[in-house]
């Protein structure tokens, strides 16, 4: 019986090993030179015949291979006819916080309570998520892991997608506080006997006052003797001193105007609006107040009957042309699985008004600036992390986004996932059928 139990346990562990994420790549051991690719720098520039060298996880050279080919060293990758890009960045994601929606024990995206600035999404991040590893074959190599729920959800962090644990994954700890702004209108609650139509939210102003009161109480506590420990108030200190950005999740025109006033009242220098569905209506105010925007998922339907049918498709392009710093986020239904479509969201912006290099900025340099990581990510430039990939074609087009190599901080990572393994398995099945075997 004892032998049976041991055998069962070993078999179970082996099964877990088969389903776990593959082993993270080893630290870069020698220089790598990518020669001949069309380099999309991420800041709008292109080098047609490029030479990119990186050592010890950092880019040491980006130039024209025609003049500098002799400088190539270490492992040389001939990428002639291919394209090289900086790793794409997925902001406002819950990757690694939920593995299976129907299994409550795997859901760590939300906590009980309303004012939760002390909640840190990073410590709940699962670096071995099978969902997260499916981002990498599309070039999504970095992400902002953000909490959900409550009035103040908590604090996000930036991670890279090839790590043993959350400590290894983190590239920027506790980058920003996330606030869910209330709606000025709501639908009637039919289950309470209310008219199901849309009506003003009578609690809207009260909700805003509750938020302002919390901010005031936190400031008073931090200015006092702090004899009694209060974690939510203590967590606000880094917001007030500017170490943390403030991300406000809001979509309506009136609500965004109220957010702008809240920014002024609370003297919040670095505030980002997430969602921003009605942002075109107040684009001038956003620009005047130096507010950057993470627009919602482009592959969505309009919210209102009288909206342009293609408003979600063209929103990022329209705001960019207004001079607003714009990135794209993908929250919503099945958001974790759909995060892999981030490059194709940017590709949609190409179809609706932006050129390809400007659209690329929406998921590289622009997002890096918004998240405050542009000193080491977002572009292919000397001194930045060697987090990049090589694609056979245009990475913003799902027909040609075919990665051959990818690197995170100079480490060559695997592009195999559970999905690619299943694809290869069933391809063999049909190949055998065609061969009559």
| Angle at CA of residue 184, ends 183 and 185, nearest 5° | 90
- Examine the pLDDT at 55 and tell me if it is beyond 90: yes
For residues 78 and 151, give the distance between their C-alpha atoms in angstroms, rounded to a whole number. Answer: 51
Element (H, E) at 285: helix 283-288
Q: Nearest CA to 29 among 62, 52, 55?
A: 55
Residue with the bigger pLDDT between 405 and 68: it is: 405
Asked if residue 144 belongs to a domain, the reply is yes
Residue 423 lies in a domain: no
Q: Is residue 393 part of a domain?
A: no
Helix, strand counts (H, E) of the chain: 15, 20
Structure tokens of 215?
Answer: 């901010």
With respect to residue 120, please indicate whether it lies within any of the assigned structural domains: yes
Residue-number span of the structural domain to which 312 is assigned: 88-377
Q: What are phi and psi of 6, to 5 degrees?
A: -65, -45
pLDDT level of residue 10 (50, 70, 90 thresholds): very low
pLDDT tens sequence across 238-270: 999 999 999 999 999 999 999 999 999 999 999
The conformation of residue 397, written as its DSSP 8-state character, comes to S
What integer pLDDT is reported at residue 9 of this predicted model?
A: 46
Separation CA 109–CA 419 (nearest Å): 24
* Res 3: pLDDT: 53
In tens, the pLDDT along 182-222 reads: 998 887 777 777 777 788 888 899 999 999 999 999 999 99
Q: Identify whether 196 is part of a domain.
A: yes
290 contacts 275 by C-beta, under 8 angstroms: no
- pLDDT of 98 > 90? The answer is no
pLDDT tens profile 157-180 = 999 999 999 999 999 999 999 999
Residue 99 lies in a domain: yes
Please report which confidence band the pLDDT of residue 5 belongs to, taking 50, 70 and 90 as the band edges. low
CB atoms within 10 A of CB 306: 5
* Mean per-residue pLDDT over the chain, rounded: 91
Q: What angle do CA 179, 180, 183 make, to 5 degrees?
A: 140
Number of domains in the chain: 1
**Within-domain flag for 97:** yes
Question: Quick check: is 368 in a domain?
Answer: yes
Query: In this structure, are residues 88 and 139 in contact, taking their beta carbons and an 8 Å threshold?
Result: yes
Q: Over the stretch 118-132, which tens digit does the pLDDT of each residue have?
A: 999 999 999 999 999
Q: For residue 338, give the CATH number of its domain.
A: 3.20.20.140
């Amino acid at each position: 019986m004892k032998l049976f139990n041991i055998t069962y346990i070993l078999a179970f562990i082996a099964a877990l090993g088969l389903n776990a994420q593959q082993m993270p790549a080893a630290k870069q051991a020698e220089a790598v030179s990518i020669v001949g690719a069309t380099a999309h720098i991420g800041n709008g520039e292109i080098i047609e015949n490029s030479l990119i060298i990186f050592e010890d996880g950092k880019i040491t050279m980006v130039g024209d291979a025609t003049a500098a080919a002799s400088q190539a060293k270490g492992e040389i990758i001939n990428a002639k006819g291919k394209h090289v890009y900086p790793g794409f960045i997925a902001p406002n994601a819950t990757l690694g916080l939920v593995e299976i929606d129907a299994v409550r024990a795997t859901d760590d995206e939300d906590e009980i309570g309303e004012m939760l600035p002390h909640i840190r999404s990073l410590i709940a991040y699962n670096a071995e998520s099978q969902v997260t590893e499916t981002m990498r074959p599309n070039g999504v190599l970095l992400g902002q892991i953000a909490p959900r729920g409550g009035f103040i959800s908590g604090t996000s962090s930036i991670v890279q997608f090839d790590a043993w644990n959350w400590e290894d994954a983190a590239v920027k700890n506790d980058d920003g506080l996330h606030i869910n702004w209330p709606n000025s209108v709501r639908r009637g609650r039919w289950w309470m006997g209310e008219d199901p139509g849309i009506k003003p939210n009578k609690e809207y102003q009260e909700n805003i006052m509750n938020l302002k009161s919390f901010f005031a109480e936190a400031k008073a506590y931090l200015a006092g003797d702090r004899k009694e420990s209060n974690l939510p108030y203590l967590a606000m200190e880094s917001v007030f001193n500017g170490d943390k950005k403030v991300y406000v999740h809001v979509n309506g025109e009136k609500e965004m105007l109220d957010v702008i006033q809240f920014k002024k009242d609370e003297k919040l220098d670095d505030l980002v609006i997430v969602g921003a569905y009605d942002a075109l209506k107040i684009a001038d105010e956003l620009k005047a107040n130096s507010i950057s925007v993470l627009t919602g998922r482009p592959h969505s339907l309009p919210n209102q009957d009288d909206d342009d049918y293609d408003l979600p498709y063209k929103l990022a392009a329209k705001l960019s042309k207004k001079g607003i710093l714009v990135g794209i986020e993908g929250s919503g239904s099945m958001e974790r699985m759909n995060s892999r479509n981030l490059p194709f969201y940017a590709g949609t912006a190409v179809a609706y008004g932006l050129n390809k290099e400007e659209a690329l900025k929406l998921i590289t340099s622009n997002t890096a600036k918004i998240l405050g990581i542009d000193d080491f990510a977002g572009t292919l430039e000397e001194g930045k992390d060697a987090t990049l990939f090589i694609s056979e074609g245009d990475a913003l087009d799902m027909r040609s986004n075919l990665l051959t190599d990818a690197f995170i901080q100079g480490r060559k990572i695997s592009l195999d996932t559970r999905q690619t393994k299943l694809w290869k398995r069933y391809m063999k099945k049909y190949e055998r059928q065609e061969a009559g075997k």
